[in-house]
Amino acid sequence: MKNIIFLVLVICAASQAHIMMEVFGEVHEYKEACLAELGIEITHPPPPADGATKPPRQEPNHDMKCLINCLFMKKGILNNSGVLQPNKVNIPTSASNLDLVKCTTITNSDPCEQAYLVESCILDQLPQQS
């Protein structure tokens, strides 16, 4: 039986989507393959009402962390050990203070959690979009 998860974040908060696309490139090309490999489905929540604020970034569930891991592995952003490959990350001029080296030392026994922690390390350094 497939798990149904509600997507609040795929890789980033909606307000950071543009800069995230610059940083990680087009990972969505691997989405269908990863969903099939993981045996999960994504159901998008309804869009916020006009004038409503978007919910704050929340920690994704384990299935979403595994999706992040799969997408990053297929794109080459993470190597087979789950270590960030800085040469695969594009640093936009608006994020010139991004320190990818500190994100390469992140380890966790759960590869899905490790991918999420690497993603968070990068996201936490990106300039906030309004």
| Domain assignment of residue 51, yes or no | no
In a domain? residue 53: no
**106 in a domain, yes or no?**
yes
As for how many domains the chain has, the answer is 1
- Whole-model pTM? 0.74
The residue among 84, 88, 82 whose CA lies nearest residue 26 is 88
pLDDT digits (tens, 9 = 90+) for 5-44: 333 333 333 334 555 566 666 777 888 899 999 999 887 6
Position 130 in a domain: no
Residue 83 lies in a domain: yes
Residue 41 lies in a domain: yes
- Residue 10: how many other CB atoms lie within 10 Å: 19
Q: Which structural domain, as residue segments, surrounds residue 33?
A: 3-46+59-123
pLDDT at 129 over 70: no
How far apart, in Å, do the first and last CA atoms of the chain sit? 40
Tell me the C-alpha distance between 73 and 76, whole Å: 5
Please tell me what DSSP assigns to residue 106. -
CATH code, domain with 114: 1.10.238.20
For the chain, percent of residues with pLDDT exceeding 90: 42
- Whether residue 110 is contained in a domain is answered as yes
